[in-house]
Amino acid sequence: MPRMRGVELMNWPDDFVNKVIHGDCIDVMREMPDKCVDLVLTDPPYGINENAFRVANRGKLARTTKYKDFTWDKERIAEDYFIEIFRVSKNQIIFGGNYYIDYLYPTKCIIVWDKDTRKTNFADCEVAWGSFNSAARVYKHRWNGMLQENMAKKEPRIYPCQKPVHLITKIIKDFSNENDLILDPFAGSGTTAEACRLMHRRFIVIEKTSEGIALSKERLSQGVL
């Protein structure tokens, strides 16, 4: 049984697939076979110190979140993480790819998430880098403080830099097939796992923070959106 900085895993694929794994994703991925997952869909830390921006603008932002301050976005992740992501997966969609362009290669598969936010302190959109040989795509989904695309069925904002599950389900639908295996090595609160379950995909999600692990397991146990 290999040990990885306090994380114990037994066998591939039984101890990986459809599991929420607590640990540093680079250690976990090093225990995975080459090209064993169909798609990596992830949102790594960008290294832009997002928490410092939120702290500086607290008086200007709506108080809709309950999560604590965080430190994991102070620095970019190392290139070694991307080497492992490319080794274990057949295709990749990486949010924040514009911050890691030196680790990636030119592509025409650029995904733009239009947040439908205007004249706020936050960006109008986010960009994801994709490995597919397909045209650029824009997904419009409102995510503007207390305003969301579906106001009748709002998603709770429970984790920093959280992505809407309905956005992720749309991307999964367009870039994968039923029963595909999808890996999110920076899982946060488990949005990708929840979207995979809704779209009948298998998943592996890895998260370093205890808070994210607890939230992911709670979401999956309750089946909430």
pLDDT digits (tens, 9 = 90+) for 68-99: 554 544 578 899 999 999 999 999 999 999 99
**Total-model pTM:** 0.83
Amino acid at 82: F
Q: What is the DSSP string of 52-86?
A: HHHHHTGGGS-----PPP--TTSSPPPHHHHHHHH
Distance CA 98, CA 29 (A): 23
Closest CA to 95 of 43, 160, 56: 43
- Stronger pLDDT, 145 or 104, i.e. the higher one: 104
pLDDT digits (tens, 9 = 90+) for 162-196: 888 899 999 999 999 999 999 999 998 899 999 99
Q: Which two structure tokens, joined as six digits, stand for 113?
A: 């998430």
pLDDT digits (tens, 9 = 90+) for 127-143: 999 999 999 999 998 76
- In the chain, the number of structural domains is 1
Residue pair 5/23 in contact by the 8 Å Cβ criterion:
yes
Q: How many CA atoms lie within 13 A of 118 on its CB side?
A: 2
pLDDT at 87: 98
Question: Does the pLDDT at position 160 exceed 90?
Answer: no
Q: Bridge-partner residues for 181, per DSSP? A: 202
Question: Does the pLDDT at position 16 exceed 90?
Answer: yes
Q: Which helix (H) or strand (E) holds 197?
A: helix 191-198
Q: Is the peptide bond before 45 cis (omega within 30 degrees of 0)?
A: no
pLDDT at 89: 98
Residues 6+ apart with CB under 8 A from 39: 89, 90, 91, 92, 93, 172, 175, 176, 180, 181, 182, 183
For the chain, first and last CA: distance in Å?
A: 35
Q: Which two structure tokens, joined as six digits, stand for 214?
A: 């607890």
**What is the CATH number for 131?**
3.40.50.150
Q: Tell me the pairing of strands 89-95 and 125-130.
A: antiparallel
> DSSP label at 162?
P
Closest CA to 39 of 224, 181, 201: 181
pLDDT at 149: 55
Q: Which helix (H) or strand (E) holds 23?
A: none
Distance CA 13, CA 28 (A): 12
Task: Give the residue numbers spanning the domain of 95.
Answer: 3-222
